[in-house]
Amino acid sequence: MSRSHISSQIREIATRLGFDQVGFARAERMDPEAQRLEEWLNKGYHGKMSYMENHFDKRVDPTVLVPGAKSVISLVFNYFPEELQHDPEAPKIARYAYGEDYHKVLKDKLFTLLDEMRAKFGNIQGRCFVDSAPVLERDWAKRSGLGWVGRNTLLIHPKKGSYFFLTELITDIELEYDHPIKDYCGTCTKCVDACPTDALVGKGYLLDASKCISYLTIELKEAIPEEFSGKMENWSFGCDICQEVCPWNRFSTPHNEPAFTPAEPFLELSKEEWLEITEEVFNPLFKKSAVQRTGYEGLKRNLRFISDSQK
């Protein structure tokens, strides 16, 4: 079978599994990206995420991470919800965490994709990644032509926006490779202007993660610094501000994945119910949710911080 035919077959399988886009790039060391990552780490923009310093060579070279790798298959999966939280004054949760934890849902789909590829193309080798290993997801998706990395440092597609998960399948088969697309941010700086903590450095394209609300409410395990009091904009887990203001997200459409459909009790929680949430309510409500990453105590810390900031 030709590379073109194999690539086409992979796209068909992935589309049937619910992935919105698929792109292919040659597995090779990413020298320009490696330099930018090193500079980013040296500036301390990763905050307390010390794991970002680990496995540098694996992070910038998929042939080190997966010996024998020839191709990186990048896939995107839409998570844009049809409904938002009902109470506009309720502490907010990032849209990606409305449903079940995407790590397991999408990893299962990738395993199915790999199994079907083996059934069609023989005993190929590959590894599946869903935000769970040292993989530069946005850079691979960019190389695969699935969008450009915008001023908000997120991958943006000109017809689909940015509300999607990124996943990768690194494999030992050669494919027909795609090419990067143009950056369409232009002179727009809405994301930079809207960020309440000034996490987007300069004119964007660079994130000081130590100031990002998503980092402060999820990755940071200690107390949130007082310098961010009054700047959290009611976000208690993650943040969507730089996506909400992005003009390209006018093209976002609701997803079709049942696992990402939020439970009605979650959407209906009022501000008062959020602030008074108990562990008995939290555990069943977020049993399968990415909110478990911060846990009950972490969420309560966030809720107390934003509540105290509003007094």
- pLDDT above 90 covers what percent of the chain? 97
Residue 278 exposed, middle or buried by CB count within 10 Å (0-12, 13-18, 19+): exposed
Specify the pTM: 0.96
Question: What CA–CA distance (Å, rounded) separates 10 from 22?
Answer: 8
**Rounded mean pLDDT, 229-252:** 98
Residue 81 predicted with pLDDT over 80: yes
Q: How many other C-beta atoms are found inside a 10 Å radius of the C-beta of residue 2? A: 8
Residue 113's pLDDT is what? 98
- What tokens appear for 31 in the block? 């020298």
Candidates 10, 8, 168; CA nearest to 76 is 168
For residue 283, give the H/E element and its range.
helix 279-285
1-52 pLDDT, tens per residue?
899 999 999 999 999 999 999 999 999 999 999 999 999 999 999 999 999 9
16 residue type, one letter: R
- What tokens appear for 14 in the block? 């992935």
Active-site residue (options: 20, 57, 108, 131): 131
Residue 311 predicted with pLDDT over 80: no
Per CATH, the architecture of 3-81+99-171 is what?
A: 3-Layer(aba) Sandwich (3.40)
Residue 263's pLDDT is what? 85
Candidates 259, 291, 218; CA nearest to 106 is 259
Residue 293's pLDDT is what? 93
Question: What CA–CA distance (Å, rounded) separates 85 from 285?
Answer: 14
- What sign does the CA torsion over 143, 148, 154, 159 have? negative
Give, as one character, the DSSP assignment of residue 130.
S
Domain residue limits, the chain: 3-81+99-171, 190-309
264 residue type, one letter: E
Residue 257 predicted with pLDDT over 80: yes
142-172 pLDDT, tens per residue?
999 999 999 999 999 999 999 999 999 999 9
Residue 284's pLDDT is what? 94
Question: What CA–CA distance (Å, rounded) separates 64 from 1?
Answer: 27
- What tokens appear for 243 in the block? 């996506």
Residue 48's pLDDT is what? 96
The question of whether 131 is a catalytic residue gets the answer yes
Residue 309's pLDDT is what? 82
- What tokens appear for 293 in the block? 């990453």
- What sign does the CA torsion over 133, 136, 141, 147 have? positive
Mean pLDDT of the chain: 97
110-153 pLDDT, tens per residue?
999 999 999 999 999 999 999 988 999 999 999 999 999 999 99
- What tokens appear for 203 in the block? 């004119």
- List % helix, strand, coil for the chain (3-state, nearest 5): 45, 15, 45
Question: What CA–CA distance (Å, rounded) separates 188 from 203?
Answer: 9
Residue 264's pLDDT is what? 86
